[in-house]
C-alpha cells in the first residue's frame, strides 16, 4: 500500500465529504443537486426559447450569434455535470469547479444577451427581463449548493440583478407562466 501522509489523507477525506455532502442536497427537482441541474437545463433552455419566440424574427436573426452562445453555455452545464457523475472520485473536486464555472459562464452569456437587446416596446422588454431574472436566479441558486459563488464576468452596458433562488421545476414553470400572463403573452405559456 502507498505511504499516505496526513495531508494526503486530509485531501481524500475532504473530497469524499464534499462529494457525499453535495449528493444529498436537493432543490425538489430530483434526488440531488446534480439531478436537479440536469433536470433544470432543458426547462431553462425552454424558457429561453420562449423569450426568443417573443422577438421580432429579424431581431432574433440579428442576435443569432449570442443566442447560440447562451444555448451552448446551458448545454455545457449539463456536460460538466455528466462528466462529474462519470468521473472517478479523485477527479471530482476539479470537475466540481468546472460545473460552477459553466454556471457562471451561462449567467454571463445570458447577461450579454440582455445587454444586446434594444427593445422599444417597454412591455416586451419588461417581460423578457422578468423571465431572464427567473432563469438567472435559478442558475445562481445552484452555486452555493456546489460550494461556488456568483462571479461577475464581463462588464455589460446593461445587466439584470441576480439573486440566487431555489426553485422546483413546478415553481419555475409557474413563475415563468405568471410573468407571461401578466404581460399579455398567455398564448406563449408552456
- Between 139 and 188, the more confident residue is 139
Kindly report the average pLDDT of the chain as a whole number. Answer: 86
Per-residue model confidence as pLDDT tens digits over 108-121: 999 999 999 999 99
The Cα 172–Cα 176 span in angstroms is 6
The Cα 185–Cα 127 span in angstroms is 9
Q: Identify the pLDDT of residue 153.
A: 67
The answer, yes or no, to whether residue 3 has pLDDT greater than 60, is: no
The answer, yes or no, to whether residue 48 has pLDDT greater than 90, is: yes
Residue 185 Cα distances to 74, 137, 158, 167, 176, angstroms: 25, 22, 24, 22, 11
Task: Considering only the C-alpha atoms of the chain, give the largest distance between any 2 of them, rounded to a whole number of Å.
Answer: 69
Per-residue model confidence as pLDDT tens digits over 85-104: 999 999 888 999 999 999 99
Average of per-residue pLDDT across 155-160: 89
Q: Where are the domains of the chain?
A: 6-188
The answer, yes or no, to whether residue 53 has pLDDT greater than 50, is: yes
Amino acid at each position: 500500500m502507498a505511504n499516505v501522509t496526513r495531508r494526503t489523507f486530509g485531501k481524500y477525506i475532504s473530497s469524499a465529504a464534499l462529494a457525499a455532502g453535495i449528493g444529498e442536497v436537493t432543490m425538489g427537482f430530483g434526488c440531488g443537486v446534480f439531478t436537479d441541474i440536469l433536470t433544470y437545463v432543458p426547462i431553462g433552455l425552454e424558457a429561453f426559447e420562449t423569450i426568443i419566440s417573443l422577438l421580432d424574427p429579424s431581431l432574433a436573426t440579428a442576435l443569432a450569434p449570442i443566442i447560440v452562445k447562451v444555448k451552448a453555455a446551458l448545454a455545457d452545464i449539463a456536460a460538466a455535470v455528466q462528466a462529474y457523475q462519470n468521473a472517478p472520485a479523485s477527479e471530482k473536486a476539479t470537475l466540481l469547479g468546472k460545473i460552477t464555472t459553466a454556471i457562471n459562464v451561462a449567467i454571463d452569456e445570458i447577461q450579454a444577451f440582455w445587454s444586446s437587446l434594444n427593445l422599444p416596446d417597454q412591455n416586451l422588454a419588461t417581460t423578457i427581463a422578468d423571465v431572464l431574472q427567473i432563469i438567472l436566479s435559478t442558475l445562481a441558486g445552484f452555486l452555493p449548493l456546489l460550494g461556488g459563488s456568483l462571479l461577475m464576468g464581463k462588464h455589460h452596458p446593461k445587466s439584470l440583478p441576480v439573486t440566487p433562488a431555489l426553485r422546483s421545476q413546478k415553481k419555475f414553470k409557474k413563475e415563468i407562466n405568471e410573468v407571461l400572463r401578466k404581460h399579455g403573452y398567455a398564448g406563449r405559456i408552456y
